[in-house]
């Protein structure tokens, strides 16, 4: 199952919150009380729940489209039965399921930690020794998965959670159930292009070697910070997977041989998980103790994990429809937990979100700082307040790294991508209403077609309003540090002074469309509601020589993380 990316958690040590249940969410499934929404993906919604004895679990409810498909139900029951026989130390244990329920569901042990995707996004590429330990741990997880007769099919950084004692692989095998239905031909992607093996990309039979290829692509990303087969449109990434050699130029040379073997085009040329474990343990950088002992993670990552060492508490008092229910009274459960973690693709663990519903109504909105001497337009309930306490709290925030996408001539120069998934936000799309600009328009470029790409499809997350998007550099920076920026509040984007913007009516936007739109239908406000469903919008620089085309991937309610994908285009000549 490939869920959507929710954003990143708050600063290390900050309390972790979850998105509250909406009016449409059930309050109980299979006898388990639901307490929060953790995320959603192509196959369903994931909730935080607790066993009758109080142990936290992640409960995944299948989408109605799949629930109505008899072939999916048959496959789902088979895959769940196989998954329950997987007991690897580096996997998240399946603890219960409801394969015959009106809405099929699956419950797994709650895993406190961050997804590997978020670790790299926030802390950058990991050291060689850390990568080798991860390869060995994930390979051991694959051994347990394959021993049960299951092929993961969607191994990627978002499906690997990082705990203090090593990785945990999640979502194993469930993708096969959806793969067999007719729904996969209607826009739902099973598997992730950047990590698919050539045989999987070509629609051929998958084997355990398919997961080894994905592990090689995962390790290359973790070690180098970029995708081995590039990003951009899914079709372009799949072509490179099948026909081109991986780009390991940013991967340390010490890893090239091992990862090159994993990424062999022919399945029979790849090592099996046992060989990977042996090779990783024998690598010279591993030292005398190739184990997940203290120091296996960089200090910044381990410090963040250490700040999340308390179990999530059940919501006080009985909720609507909660009741005691017939939930299981025993069975394996999650170990002593941390605060609910955040995952780029949360399927078996928690997403970070600001829980506005948990705040006391009488306290009012928390004051937020405004720009100092920059003339930025901050709106909302706290727009006029400048409170030093908020600034002091923000000093403890972590540095957030952006995913530096590699350039590729095969990419669409408009910066659009047909591989983007819809995000799990609470916003409903509606057509944006253009608002006339109160300032003179920036000069139009002399030629609409004379734009060349700069950075392309940079996926960036501003964790809270103390960070903004630097449009010139294509990265997230502390607020009030960029000259050409896109500020984020809890409800909208705020443009830098003398910038122009345009929101597309459809879902394709080129630099030429951007310029025409700004000249005919400029907007000065960019509410998140107007940008739902990843509707593209663009921002033109004050000098009129550059445009950034962007899509809002997710905006967590309250002052939670905001994730965008953006591409910059510069006027040539």
Active-site residues, by number, are 154
CA angle 412, 516, 376 (to 5 degrees): 95
Residues with Cβ within 8 Å of 455's Cβ and at least 6 positions away in sequence, in order, are 404, 405, 407, 474, 566, 567, 568
Structure tokens at 132: 């080798």
Residue-wise burial string across 47-83, b where 16 or more C-beta atoms lie within 10 A, e elsewhere: bbbbbeeebbbbbbbbbebbbebeebbebbebbbebb
Task: Measure the CA–CA gap between 570 and 565, rounded to whole angstroms.
Answer: 17
| Residue 467 DSSP SS3 | strand
Enclosing H/E stretch for 453: strand 451-453
Sign of CA dihedral 470, 474, 476, 478: negative
Residues with Cβ within 8 Å of 163's Cβ and at least 6 positions away in sequence, in order, are 111, 112, 113, 305
Sign of CA dihedral 144, 150, 155, 161: negative
Residues with Cβ within 8 Å of 158's Cβ and at least 6 positions away in sequence, in order, are 3, 5, 115, 116, 117, 343, 344, 345
Residues with Cβ within 8 Å of 322's Cβ and at least 6 positions away in sequence, in order, are 27, 28, 33
CB contact at 8 A, 67 and 73: yes
CB contact at 8 A, 349 and 58: yes
| Residue 281 DSSP SS3 | helix
| Strand order across the beta sheet in which 526-527 lies | 475-478, 467-470, 485-488, 492-495, 526-527
Task: Measure the CA–CA gap between 513 and 61, rounded to whole angstroms.
Answer: 40
| Residue 199 DSSP SS3 | helix
Residue 156 is labelled as binding a ligand:
no
CA 429 distance to own-chain centroid: 21
Structure tokens at 482: 């960029």
| Residue 133 DSSP SS3 | helix
CB atoms within 10 A of CB 24: 6
> How many separate helices (H) and strands (E) can be counted in the chain?
13, 20
Residue-wise burial string across 211-225, b where 16 or more C-beta atoms lie within 10 A, e elsewhere: bbbbbbbbbbbbbbb
| Residue 411 DSSP SS3 | coil
CA 63 distance to own-chain centroid: 20
Q: Could you list the residues known to form a binding site for ATP, using ranges.
A: 60
Which residues make up each annotated binding site?
A: 60
């Amino acid at each position: 199952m490939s869920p959507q990316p929710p954003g990143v958690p708050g600063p290390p040590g900050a309390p972790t919150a979850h998105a509250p249940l909406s009016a449409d969410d059930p309050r109980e499934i299979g006898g388990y009380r639901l307490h929060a929404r953790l995320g959603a993906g192509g196959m369903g919604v994931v909730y935080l729940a607790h066993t009758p004895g109080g142990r936290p679990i992640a409960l995944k409810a299948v989408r109605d489209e799949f629930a109505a498909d008899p072939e999916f139900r048959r496959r789902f029951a088979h895959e769940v039965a196989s998954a329950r026989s997987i007991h690897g130390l580096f996997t998240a244990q399946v603890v219960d399921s409801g394969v015959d329920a009106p809405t099929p569901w699956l419950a797994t042990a709650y895993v406190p930690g961050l997804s590997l995707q978020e670790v790299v996004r926030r802390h950058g590429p990991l050291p060689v020794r850390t990568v080798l330990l991860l390869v060995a741990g994930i390979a051991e997880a694959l051994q347990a998965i394959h021993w049960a007769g299951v092929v993961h099919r969607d191994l990627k950084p978002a499906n690997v959670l990082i705990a203090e004692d090593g990785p945990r692989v999640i979502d194993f095998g469930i993708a096969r159930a959806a793969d067999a239905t007719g729904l996969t031909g209607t826009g739902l992607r099973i598997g992730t292009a950047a990590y698919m093996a050539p045989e999987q990309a070509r629609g051929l039979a998958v084997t355990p070697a398919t997961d080894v290829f994905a592990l090689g692509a995962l390790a290359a990303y973790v070690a180098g910070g970029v995708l081995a087969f590039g990003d951009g449109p899914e079709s372009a990434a799949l072509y490179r997977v099948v026909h081109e050699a991986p780009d390991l130029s940013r991967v340390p040379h010490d890893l090239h041989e091992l990862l090159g073997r994993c990424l062999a085009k022919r399945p029979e040329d790849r090592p099996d998980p046992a060989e990977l474990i042996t090779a990783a343990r024998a690598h010279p950088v591993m030292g005398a103790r190739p184990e997940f002992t203290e120091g296996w993670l960089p200090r910044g990552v381990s410090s963040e994990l250490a700040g999340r060492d308390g179990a999530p508490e059940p919501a006080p008092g009985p909720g609507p429809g909660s009741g005691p229910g017939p939930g299981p009274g025993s069975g394996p459960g999650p170990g002593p937990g941390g605060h609910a973690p955040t995952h780029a693709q949360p399927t078996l663990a928690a997403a970070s979100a600001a829980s506005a519903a948990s705040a006391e109504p009488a306290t009012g909105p928390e004051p937020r700082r405004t720009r100092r001497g920059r003339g930025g337009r901050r709106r909302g309930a706290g727009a006029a307040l400048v409170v030093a306490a908020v600034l002091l709290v923000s000093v403890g925030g972590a540095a957030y790294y952006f995913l530096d996408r590699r350039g590729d001539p095969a990419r669409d120069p408009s910066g659009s991508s047909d591989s983007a998934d819809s995000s799990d936000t609470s916003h409903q799309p509606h057509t944006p209403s253009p608002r006339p600009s109160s300032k003179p328009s920036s000069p139009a470029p002399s030629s609409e077609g004379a734009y060349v790409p700069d950075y392309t499809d940079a996926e960036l997350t501003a964790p809270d309003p103390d960070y903004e998007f630097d449009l010139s550099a294509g990265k997230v920076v502390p607020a009030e540090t960029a000259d050409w920026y896109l500020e984020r509040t809890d409800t909208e984007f705020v443009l830098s002074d003398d910038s122009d913007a345009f929101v597309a009516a459809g879902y394709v936007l080129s630099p030429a469309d951007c310029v025409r739109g700004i000249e005919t239908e400029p907007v000065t406000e960019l509410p998140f509601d107007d940008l739902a469903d990843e509707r593209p919008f663009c921002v033109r620089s004050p000098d009129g020589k550059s445009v950034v085309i962007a899509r809002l991937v997710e905006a967590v309610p309250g002052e939670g993380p905001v994730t965008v994908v953006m591409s910059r285009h510069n006027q040539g000549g």
